[in-house]
Amino acid sequence: MHKGLKIGAILAVSAFAAGTAAPITANAAAKKTVTVGIVGTSDKKLWDNINKTTQKKYNLTVKTKVFTDYNQPNKAVADGSLDLNAFQHTYFLENWNKSNNNKVKAIGKTFITPIRLYSEKHKDVKDFKKGDSIAVPNDSTNEGRALTLLQSAGLITLKKGVDLPTLKDIKSNKLNLKFKEVAADQGPSALKSMDGAVINTNYAQEAKLKLSSAIYVEPINKKSKQWINVIFARKSDADKKAYKQVVKAYQSKQTKQYLKDTWGKAEIPAWDIKLK
């Protein structure tokens, strides 16, 4: 289950005509650029739309820098070579922060992407039988999230007080379900040989699984706070006016409509969501 820093003003170069310097307009002198790091290109068009809004409202240009892994963009924000990041959920950010001197800070919520339980053999969670097999992601974050989903679906119960449970934290498994840990991106492949699989939405989409085919969807409640994706900046720059303007442009009716039109129920706007 994703930048604090140098916003360079774009200054007009003095021009001379007939020996007279052309004046620098107030708008040209005030114009700024903010660069946002994203992982992959799926949200590129969304940020292009946000750029149109910030240019019109705030004379602010928003550019994106695409990364292919989850570590480099965080480091870039922390060292000041990138302004903002928008690719990760709160849990990932907080854990990265703990290992990196707490250098970055969330400045705005974006969306939440529920994970789902799929099955090619069952149409309802009530159809699972004794000894059935379910694939879960093998990384600690997604496995814990998957097991919590299975508990909410009524298939297992977990020990209390564990933030990210593992298979060892299963307290009750009345159907004696068998669990297989697989790489998160291998969930769709595992589904073919298992009775069920908990799959992250991005990998389900890549495998062309219909979200509507899922037999159980992760509920959105107060426990979901850690899975909300955020925009973040270097802590020392978190209050910059330009960054707040970027967040405001993102958290708009236009963005809600874009997410709905583009992703349907895959990405749910989360900046004003009420978690119960």
pLDDT of residue 209: 94
- Are residues 44 and 96 located together in one domain of the fold? yes
Domain finish residue from 181, 200, 219: 219
Structure tokens at 100: 């990196």
pTM: 0.80
- For residue 149, being part of any structural domain is answered with yes
- Same domain (yes/no): 22, 79: yes
pLDDT at 212: 94
* Among 91, 52, 8, 41, residue whose Cα is nearest residue 246: 52
Domain count across the chain: 2
Domain contains 8: no
Same domain, 109 and 125: no
In a domain, 122, yes or no: yes
- Structural domain includes residue 228: yes
Q: Is residue 1 part of a domain?
A: no
Within-domain flag for 11: no
Structure confidence at residue 30 (pLDDT): 54
Quote the domain boundaries for residue 29. 16-113+224-269
Q: Which of 140, 145, 134, 135 is nearest to 175 (CA)?
A: 134
**Quick one: 212 and 228 in the same domain?**
no
Of residues 112, 117, 142, the one with CA closest to residue 267: 112
* 209 and 155 fall within a common domain: yes
| AA letter at 200 | N
Is 86 inside any structural domain? yes
* 125 and 43 together in one domain: no
Q: What is the pLDDT of residue 202?
A: 87
Token reading at 78: 């922390």
Check residue 71 and give its pLDDT.
Answer: 82
Q: Does 275 fall in a domain?
A: no
Q: Are residues 155 and 187 in the same domain?
A: yes
Question: Residue 10 has which token pair?
Answer: 């774009």
Q: Which mean pLDDT values do the consecutive 10-residue runs of the chain (276 residues) have?
A: 38 35 43 91 94 97 92 92 95 90 94 97 98 95 95 97 94 98 95 97 90 96 93 96 98 96 93 93
Q: What is the CATH number of the domain that holds 58?
A: 3.40.190.10
Task: Quote the pLDDT of residue 31.
Answer: 59
pLDDT at residue number 163: 85
